[in-house]
Homo-oligomer: A and B are copies of this chain.
Amino acid sequence: MVGVIGDGVVAGDADIAPVAALMGEPARAAVLMALLDGRALAASTLAAEAGVAASTLSAHLARLVDGGLVSVEASGRNRYFRITRPEVADTLEALARLAPCRPVRSLRQGTHAEAIRHARTCYDHLAGRLGVAVCDALVAAKVLGVEEDPGGRPDPVLGAGRSRRYVLTKSGRARLAELGVDVEATGRRPLTRYCLDWSEQRPHLAGALGASLLARFVELGWVTRGERRVVKVTDAGRKGLVAEMGVDPDAWA
């Protein structure tokens, strides 16, 4: 009756295999991880990142675009690729949480590994120890409240499946506005999102607010975005984060 060989997964069922296979090839995985900070990178940059020939990478990128994980934007003779949706980044982070860290092969790689655990960008918001510390500070200052996610009703798409969520308090909204954080800049995106950090195994703040927060930090010159998702905190940033944000300096330094 059924007996269809090679068609084990039923059409219409959630067919995770194709998507997972896209992420399961080393070169493509490297591309996706490189794009995880939300920036758009040129094909040549990504080829160097993945360590394969341009022609090889071109094929990979075509498949990623076809699979809806990555979108293209042509600009002159360059084509810039970026991750299409936050859900893709979510999935990559979920996989990262599952994956063992690759062994460290050199001192340089070791220091970078340390740096990226210290402070990095995750798609478009802060992560690493700094991201967690900032998030903790926001909760401690009651800028954010943590509440249980009533995961049934209101949120049609995002937020479901997350057991807890952050809500921006009234006083928190005022406080962030005072700091110049664009609290209103949320499109269809949820303002806050509870995002588990793969290196710290603790939550940090994602969503539109997480993005606005990072943008403002950069604007203030508190942090600078370095190579490969690494984030550096400036002297002014160190002071500002402690004085204005109430971040515990020991928690991330």
Contacts and interface: CB of A to CB of B under 8 A. Distances in A.
Given A24-B20, A157-B201, A101 B162 contact: no
Given A112-B11, A161-B162, A156 B104 contact: no
Interface residues of A, number: 92
A113 interface: yes
A156 B201 contact: yes
- Tell me how many chains of this kind the complex includes: 2
B91 A18 contact: no
Contacts of A10: 109, 112-113, 116, 228-229
A94 interface: yes
A103 B29 contact: no
A14 B33 contact: yes
A32 to B, nearest CB: 8
A219 interface: no
A203 B160 contact: yes
Interface of A: 2, 4-30, 32-34, 48-52, 68-69, 87-88, 90-106, 109-110, 112-117, 135-136, 139, 146, 148-153, 156-164, 196, 198-199, 201-203, 228-229
